[in-house]
Every structure is written in C-alpha cells, then in structure tokens.
Amino acid sequence: DVKVTQSSRYLVKRTGEKVFLECVQDMDHENMFWYRQDPGLGLRLIYFSYDVKMKEKGDIPEGYSVSREKKERFSLILESASTNQTSMYLCASSLLLTGKDYTFGSGTRLTVV
C-alpha cells in the first residue's frame, strides 16, 4: 500500500514560532501537495511540487513556504505562525497528474496559540 506519513497528528505552537510540518511518501511519487482543511471551506491547496527542488503556489500560499530536497519528503513551513493558521493540514502524493491516484496522509491538526 502507498503510504503518506505526516510526522505529527497533533501540534500546538505559539504565535510567531517557525513551524515545520513534515510529509514522507514511500512510493516514489513525483508529485506532492499540501492542503489545509477548515470547517465550511473544504480543502484548499497551499503548495505543490512536481519534482525535487520544484515548487508551485496553490490557491492560498501566503504565510507558507515549502521545501523538497528529496523526492520522498515534502515539508511545509510556517515562517511565523499566526492564530489564523490553526487548521488541519493534509499532505498528498501522486504519480500522475490526472487526479485518480492522489494518496493522502491522515493529517496534522495544528493549533497556534
């Protein structure tokens, strides 16, 4: 089974802290994605990556950055966490871009206090 593993299930951070959310996939997928999910808003795409060292902005990249130094790992970085970044963060990977093989992790629930 394809596995997408997110390093933390729950995380509590203070306002202004630099936060790293880690995602690792074990199926040699080219594409990786970061979404956030909020009640009433559905999933919104933050950043994605087609390849190592490549990154593309999604719909809501403000306040976030990403890093992809290795194919299997895609990190989401909150440079200075704010309370409005309290959310569920979901990582996904896919081999194809056709949309039929996205595999998601279980999510990291981040609370910024």
Which residues of this protein are in contact with other proteins, per CB under 8 A? Answer: 4, 33, 35, 40-45, 48, 56, 58-59, 90, 92, 96-107
Which C-beta is closer to other proteins: that of 5 or that of 82?
5
CB 43, min distance to other proteins, A: 4
Instruction: Please check whether residue 22 is in contact with residue 5, taking contact to mean a CB–CB distance below 8 angstroms.
Output: no
Q: Which residue has the tokens 């970044």?
A: 85
Q: Residue 72 or residue 101: which is nearer to other proteins going by CB?
A: 101
Cα separation of 90 and 109, whole Å?
Answer: 9
Closest-CA residue to 39 (of 107, 98, 105, 86): 86
Q: How far is the CB of 6 from other proteins (least distance, A)?
A: 9
